[in-house]
Chains A and B, each alone.
Chain A
């Protein structure tokens, strides 16, 4: 369980890359064709593929008990058959798909560097140095040390061990038998994915089990780089969001541990980004992909549905109302049958099964505060007294309030422009998620987690990860 070796690390690295990417690429080909190419295809395959493996194997437990190597290859084979069927029915050439696998170097990067002012070049080097050192330190940390933080064990690693030991996930039965025998009501999708890796590697290793978190974070930084450069065409503003994200103090500990807060923030950014792309281009494929990430996000942690995804949906609907886009969206939903069928399928496959099972057992979303079901509403104004110390007497957020004030000032001063460029939606998403978290602390028994600071700083940090990720778009207001 605590073995450290180069060969074992390579095994974990290989399976953590291959196991999600193969089904991820096939899934994207089946539902989105050749829309995504090169580096972005591989990144999306990793993000999507983790969900495809986890949710497919979970859903299959209803009819077949078993999570292991055979079940994974069964899924892969099924996706290959679907893909072949699609090519045959649509009469597409296989070569057009193969072309999407090539990664090309973007020559605009060099052109952009030459266009930087002197001060931007200096900051580009400084920020790149910080980012590089951070990546190296966290990489060494993640491949050398066992898990450390408390919640990792009962909430996220116990289900992995149990599912590995049991050979599958029992869906129907007594409360002490079902759903990975972990913390009842906590989503077990990422534990299911990790169990698949454990099966392939041949055992649970507490050093490398968190490699998925680290790779997810690394690919997330590359994703930010990718879209920030495409939008700004400026290397300074490309590296800036990454620099700000790694500058949030708790990120270091979350990208090397088994908690699900940072994955929730990452999938939130993916959801928001693709919904934003839909708003820009009216491309319903982007809306589908945004919803897909949103549905995966909803089942990473309980907060995923109640806070993150709800916040994004509220801000999206609000934005479409403000920009009078709602009617057009609503009409388009039913005109575009491909989008309708795809989204309904995504909802049925990724979002609803766990919600239905939880409802069946009467399990709520507030287990952390000891509520088995229900929300236990109560008013706790004492939480306001914690705000000053956590921002000013401790170092939980660096100086991110200054960034927030700057962005708020720019948005309020140029509101019409921000609405026109749709970038206001990005700002609104952050405000929405942060507000919901604060409302949860203010009006429920979860206030204790704000008063004792066992939850508040990490959830607020994840909201700021979202803000920092979009900082280049929010500051430049160019798309």
Chain B
């Protein structure tokens, strides 16, 4: 009886440890969330993790395979109870994927210890068939080439540009941080030289570093300007795209011209219902400025017009007349 009790206790303790380690620590090839997973196929509905190995000296994750469904596949670093998410690839429908994720693209990479496990992360409803997930290293020359490419990669004009700039990176270290440390290092050496202890010499020395950042920023500014001029200013009106806002300005211009909202009609009264594939930033811009003097309303029943931006609309079923039909976007005059 005593022996049975002792074995029973041992069994439950073992069970506890198995359960404990399952929750709190990860071993190689641990998986979570999958409906089913084998070496050749998997089914994920919602969110799934598959631990692939440690960060170590690995530089990339290679994903190949046939995937179907709707979701995102990418990677993350498992830092305690947190997952530091890296890049993701969107899958919509059947896709034959061959994608390499470079860990260097993650700005926080230098802060992640080498022993941190890397997990494949799937979000959405995805099926995988004949897949391979491989961690790998890049040779030194390719690494250097990638670092140079990354350093000169352009930081585009985005909605957050007016609030913050990421800046250039040397590998995973910010160029600004690199220059601060270099400046400090050289300063400590040069301070022993009498000539350097002159404020004017210090300023010239400082300006070298300041100019490097400004020069790198100028590359961004020229590139942004060039992109804008090519895709917006010098493009024909029907083909204009405005950075990541796409053809929304061109579409809005067509609406304003169709309804004659500028010039003599600039003070008319009208109500417009708007519906776009996403509210931000379009609805705010239309509401506050771009569809003025019309008011943007939430109910199409009280509106004279309807704006449908990138919506799959069956115009035959709409109770109105199509005034503008532009790249899957429509201006409708409702029948009253």
A359 within 8 A of B: no
The main secondary structure of chain A at its interface with chain B is helix
A392–B243 CA distance with the chains assembled, in angstroms: 28
A4 within 8 A of B: yes
Knowing A1-B262, A161-B292, A458-B162, the reply to whether A150 touches B284 (Cβ < 8 A) is yes
A240–B204 CA distance with the chains assembled, in angstroms: 11
Binary contact track B260-273/A, C-beta < 8 Å → 1, others 0: 01110011000000
Is the Cβ of B214 less than 8 Å from the Cβ of A247? yes
A392–B267 CA distance with the chains assembled, in angstroms: 50
Is the Cβ of A399 less than 8 Å from the Cβ of B165? no
A249–B204 CA distance with the chains assembled, in angstroms: 20
Is the Cβ of B162 less than 8 Å from the Cβ of A395? no
Chain A neighbourhood of B107, CB < 8 A: 393
Chain B neighbourhood of A458, CB < 8 A: 162-163
A451 within 8 A of B: no
Chain B neighbourhood of A259, CB < 8 A: 162
A455–B164 CA distance with the chains assembled, in angstroms: 9
A133–B289 CA distance with the chains assembled, in angstroms: 32
Is the Cβ of A250 less than 8 Å from the Cβ of B162? yes
A172 within 8 A of B: no
Is the Cβ of A252 less than 8 Å from the Cβ of B221? yes
A162–B285 CA distance with the chains assembled, in angstroms: 14
- Chain B's closest residue to A161 (CB) is B292
Is the Cβ of B165 less than 8 Å from the Cβ of A394? yes
Instruction: Using C-beta atoms within 8 Å of the partner chain, give the interface range for chain A.
Output: 35 or more
B97 within 8 A of A: no
A164–B289 CA distance with the chains assembled, in angstroms: 12
Chain B neighbourhood of A158, CB < 8 A: 288-289, 292
Knowing A2-B249, A144-B229, A246-B214, the reply to whether A395 touches B292 (Cβ < 8 A) is no
- Tell me how many residue pairs across A and B have CB atoms closer than 8 Å: 179
Is the Cβ of A395 less than 8 Å from the Cβ of B175? yes
Among the listed stretches B42-50, B86-94, B166-174, which one makes contact with chain A, having 4 or more residues with CB under 8 Å of it?
A: B166-174
User: Nearest chain B CB to A154's CB is how many angstroms away?
Assistant: 4
The one of B202, B214, B262, B284 that contacts A406, using a Cβ cutoff of 8 Å: B202
Chain B neighbourhood of A150, CB < 8 A: 159, 281, 284
The one of A4, A206, A252, A402 that contacts B206, using a Cβ cutoff of 8 Å: A402
Instruction: Using C-beta atoms within 8 Å of the partner chain, give the interface range for chain B.
Output: 35 or more
Is the Cβ of A140 less than 8 Å from the Cβ of B289? no
A218–B222 CA distance with the chains assembled, in angstroms: 19
The main secondary structure of chain B at its interface with chain A is helix
The one of A247, A395, A454 that contacts B165, using a Cβ cutoff of 8 Å: A395
Is the Cβ of B232 less than 8 Å from the Cβ of A244? no
User: Nearest chain A CB to B247's CB is how many angstroms away?
Assistant: 12
B177 within 8 A of A: yes
A133–B202 CA distance with the chains assembled, in angstroms: 26
Is the Cβ of B214 less than 8 Å from the Cβ of A130? yes
Chain A neighbourhood of B290, CB < 8 A: 1, 153, 206
Is the Cβ of A394 less than 8 Å from the Cβ of B174? yes
Is the Cβ of A144 less than 8 Å from the Cβ of B233? yes
Knowing A165-B266, A406-B199, the reply to whether A453 touches B206 (Cβ < 8 A) is no
Binary contact track A232-247/B, C-beta < 8 Å → 1, others 0: 0000000010011011
- Chain B's closest residue to A4 (CB) is B233
User: Nearest chain A CB to B112's CB is how many angstroms away?
Assistant: 14
- A residues near B, CB below 8 A? 1-2, 4, 119, 123, 126-127, 130, 133-134, 137, 140-141, 144-150, 153-154, 157-158, 161-162, 164-165, 202-204, 206, 240, 243-244, 246-247, 249-250, 252-254, 257, 259, 390-396, 398-399, 401-403, 406, 410, 453-455, 457-458, 475
User: Given A141-B228, A396-B167, A410-B199, 11 other A-B contacts at CB below 8 A?
Assistant: A130-B218, A149-B159, A150-B284, A154-B284, A157-B289, A158-B289, A203-B263, A395-B165, A396-B164, A399-B180, A453-B160
5 interchain residue pairs of minimum CB distance: A395-B167, A158-B288, A153-B288, A149-B162, A161-B292
A selection of 7 A-B contacts at a CB cut-off of 8 Å is A119-B204, A153-B290, A243-B207, A392-B180, A398-B176, A399-B180, A453-B163
